[in-house]
Chains A and B, each alone.
Chain A
Amino acid sequence: MNFREFLKNNIVIFDGGLGTLLQKQGLKAGEHPETWNISHAGIVQKIHTDYFNAGSNIVNTNTFGANKLNFASDELETIIKAAVENVKIARDNCVANQPKFIALDIGPTGKLLKPFGDFDFEEAVEVFAETVKLGVKYGVDLIYIETMSDSYETKAAVLAAKENCDLPIIASNAYGEDGKLMTGASPEAMVAMLEGLGVDAIGANCSLGPKQLRPIVDKLLKCSSLPVMLKPNAGLPKIIDGKTVYDINVDEFADEVLSAINSGVRIVGGCCGTTPEYIRKVSQKTIGAKPIDIKEKNITCVSSYTHVVEFGKQPILIGERINPTGKKRFKQALVEHDIDYILNEGINQQEKGVHILDVNVGLPEIDEPELLKTAVCELQAIINLPLQIDTSDIKAMESALRVYNGKAMINSVNGKQESMHSVFPLVKKYGGLVVALTLDENGIPSTAEGRVKIAEKILKTAENYGISKKDIIFDTLAMTISADTSAPIATLGSMREIRERLGCNTSLGVSNISFGLPNRDFVNSVFYASALENGLSAAIMNPYSLEMMKTYYAYRAIHNLDSNCADYIVFASGVEISENKAVSVTNKADENYNSDLQKAIIKGLKELSGEITSELIKAHNPLDIVTDEIIPALDIVGKGFEKKEVYLPQLLMSAEAAKSAFEIIKSNMQTVSKNDKATVVIATVKGDIHDIGKNIVKLLLENYGFNVIDLGKDVSPDAILKTVVENNAPLVGLSALMTTTVPAMEETVKLIKEKAPYCKTVVGGAVLTEDYARKIGADKYAKDAMETVRYAEEICR
């Protein structure tokens, strides 16, 4: 019988702890247990045999850390071969006759993935793939991915397994006392992601005892449509008389495990501190225990690296602002690869209360697969909202889905054969909730029935790909009433039918309804309310629109979806304040400052600077505001900093205040012209991943009107040179924080001197000194950001 068959109708018993037993046999701290597969094969085989004899159906190979980060490739192969052989021998030696399987054990690498660590996602997939291939080669029956404390690394391991074998996969995570993974994922988020990736069972292991893991397992059971595994430690370790003792004995452990089985857990075993005795007891107590049927949970949801957003219970808001359509400033940001601008849009929408961010970076002149991937990575590094990958470029869709840390929303598929056959395989492989537009080769049907028919066709095709209807969300297409006032009938009619008869969730790009009309918000918000009444689950909308937000909060309040109207009250009272607040601008604020704006900038008041500038710009020339107000204020702060009367955080607060004034000015200028000042290229050099110093320099240079091209961190000398040449830049700024990366800085300086001698180099960073800078041939050492600005002004004037 293969494992998948066995799992269908049986309680599965795993083995127990291995590391703790090897330590008792003399494994030292810091020693790789995997080497014992060869050096102490007898001991390893004995433990495996004891587990099989105790009743285990699955015994793990001793390969927790067997990967190419820890071992050279020929050594790795020898170790995995021996590890599988050891379990095979144990299976042959076992006297008990239960069905027996060998699992390839895969633990975390101990490295953290980018952006916080330095381990690349694809590199991680490759490391796991190597181990999987060897395990498969030597004949394991299933893959056991365990003790993962990071959702992203879990995804890398599962992808590696899926891409290199068809064996069953059990994916199990180590949850902390707070009920989450160390990098923040909830059990529900892990289920959403892992079900989407197509594993065979989902579990919790290690870190805690069965009592503490129980609430976590209950959460898994509640939302998982797959078998759930529990493999806890023997309680928590305590030191008694100088010896480590786990605080749960064999009987208590088995009782806890049995109770979990009675609640629906299908696979059980032990982790640290458990021994064959624990497993024997579990196996005795569970004789005759009936496995509980696993029900399809039908939860429509998406997830981020922390949490899930579920559809159908509460109206969901999907922020539409990360999209260049009709936005000049956004297009400019995309062309200039200004990721910060995209991030700001994300952060602002999150603050407005959206649940999901739509991400669309499609412009004809850009490399969309690369930019969409970058945008997804950057957004998910700092914003914990689930993302909606919005693209018609299949390559871009795949590159973004692959690196997405969770279960993404995908926008979109439609009823055309070509669309379904290119999008569904990606949904099947990476998981996701896909928005399905009710149109096909014949266009958009004008009737509700026509759109519902297409929806049915889409569901059928999805089913053939193994995608269930919970993972399809229909968009019945809002069309502008300025062209046809009867258009909403089909949109709303098909929406209601899809919701009620087909039982699917729905989503809508609400604002299309008012295209071509004045004051579109008035129409949008009323249409949004009608759509909600007709069963709309999620709206793609503009969260900066007060009318839309009013509708959202009011709708929830009157439909018993906002208990005590709590959210409504917070929202509505906030609106009152902002509507009543007017900024009065005077020319002389108080004696110490020349004007209100200068005061706001010098004091570092970001919001106020923006507000004052918005007022000023109504009556003043934008460039006058820059030269008469902003630059003088910055100079006062800059001089204070040089005299050590103002400290770095204050300098930065002023710079940020000035930046917010600049943003207002930029967006109010008729054409966004390139600055008249020179271009400065800045980068943190190859091998170095620190960029706060460089970001500070960037901010100040921008304040002083320079056109800054920021290449980011870990940038190769060639890439820097290329940008310098392309932009004919007179100055390049290089940053390095670590001594180990100064040679890369030297190499970059040399290359620029040789190939672009017109370009000056200014260097800075924690490890640099005036002397050092001279030695590596740089034109200038700047001890801080202000000095860089002064130098830039000197040479670019």
Chain B
Amino acid sequence: MNDCVLVKSYPYPPVNQKEILRYSGCKNSTDELCLLIEKCTSESCNKLVFKVCYREFNITVENDVVDFGFMKVPSSDLCKNLCKCNKAIVFCATVGIELDRLIKKYERIAPSKAIMLHAFGSERVEALCDAFCDDIKAEYDNFNINCCTRFSPGYGDFDIKFQKDIFRALEISKNIGVSLNKNLFMTPSKSVTAIIGLKEK
């Protein structure tokens, strides 16, 4: 079990254009939309980072409460997700602040690009989470341990206020530069925190 927070950097995950369209609210593609996506991806691709920090914790799941040691989360949805798990990985993934700068720039001068960059960022950070989860799955498979689907604060009845505890426990700001504002929003905005339950096969 890792008793400290580890940081990993990933190479550029493959892009899924359909997902970008979906996040931007477009049902069909047109030449102009494809061109817009192409402009957004080429302008931002070398500005992104793909960083994850994570740590494993012993957990207990009892009476609809999950105890991580550093936080006790009353949530029946999380309990369902972590059913029969005695450990969990808590992680935060981000694509970095530069995308926020680009979005901010285009919000002012070309909102269409800003919207598309938002969509692109959402697709990127989810792709990063997928890459990370695949890694963890492969790693724990060696020890005969199954990984549950990742579950984030804000899903179901998992209160988003636990972001504060997660941020402190993983020292996320220091490790990968993601910080939490008063309203519990993350900056860089294209960041995800989540929990992966671990259970023996």
Chain A interface residues toward B at CB < 8 A:
20, 23, 28-30, 107-108, 110-112, 115-119, 147, 149-150, 174, 176-178, 182-184, 206, 237, 239, 242-244, 339-340, 343-344, 347, 381-383, 603-606, 647-650, 652-653, 655-656, 687, 689, 691-692, 695-696, 699, 738, 740
Contacts and interface: CB of A to CB of B under 8 A. Distances in A.
Contact of B109 (A107, A112, A343): A343
A478 B162 CA distance: 62
A124 to B, nearest CB: 12
B163 to A, nearest CB: 12
A348 to B, nearest CB: 9
Contacts of A184: 97-98
Contacts of A340: 108-109
A687 B183 CA distance: 9
A110 B173 contact: yes
Given A110-B174, A112-B179, A117 B109 contact: no
Contacts of B36: 604, 649, 653
B26 A649 contact: yes
A647 B9 contact: no
A237 B2 CA distance: 10
Interface of B: 1-4, 6, 9, 24-27, 30, 32-33, 36, 49, 55, 57, 69-71, 96-98, 100-101, 104-105, 107-112, 114-116, 118, 165, 167-170, 173-174, 176-177, 179-183, 187-188
A653 B112 contact: yes
Given A30-B71, A110-B167, A382 B174 contact: no
Nearest to A272: B4
A232 to B, nearest CB: 15
A118 B182 contact: yes
A279 B87 CA distance: 36
Given A182-B177, A695-B107, 13 more contacts: A23-B3, A111-B173, A111-B179, A111-B180, A118-B181, A147-B174, A149-B174, A150-B177, A242-B1, A347-B105, A605-B32, A647-B25, A649-B36
A182 B97 contact: yes
A29 B109 contact: no
Contacts of A119: 181
Given A110-B167, A112-B187, A244-B3, A692 B179 contact: no
B115 A692 contact: yes
A244 B183 CA distance: 34
A647 B34 CA distance: 13
Given A108-B174, A343-B108, A382-B105, A23 B69 contact: no
Nearest to B4: A244
A692 B111 CA distance: 7
A656 to B, nearest CB: 5
B111 A23 contact: no
Contacts of B115: 648-649, 652, 692
Please indicate which of the listed interface residues B55, B105, B110, B112 has the most CB atoms of chain A within 10 Å of its own CB: B112
Contact of B110 (A28, A606, A691, A740): A606
27 contacts: A20-B4, A28-B70, A29-B168, A30-B71, A30-B169, A111-B173, A117-B181, A149-B173, A174-B174, A182-B97, A237-B4, A242-B3, A244-B2, A381-B104, A382-B104, A382-B108, A604-B32, A647-B27, A649-B112, A649-B115, A650-B33, A652-B110, A653-B36, A689-B181, A692-B107, A699-B111, A738-B183
B149 to A, nearest CB: 24
Nearest to B27: A647
Nearest to A115: B104
Contact of B101 (A111, A382, A605): A382
Contact of B6 (A23, A237, A647): A237
A605 B170 CA distance: 46
Contacts of A147: 174
A340 B25 CA distance: 26
Contacts of B108: 339-340, 343-344, 382, 695
B51 to A, nearest CB: 8
A177 B175 CA distance: 12
A696 B111 contact: yes
Contacts of A650: 26, 30, 32-33, 112
Given A649-B26, A692-B115, A111 B181 contact: yes
Nearest to A150: B177
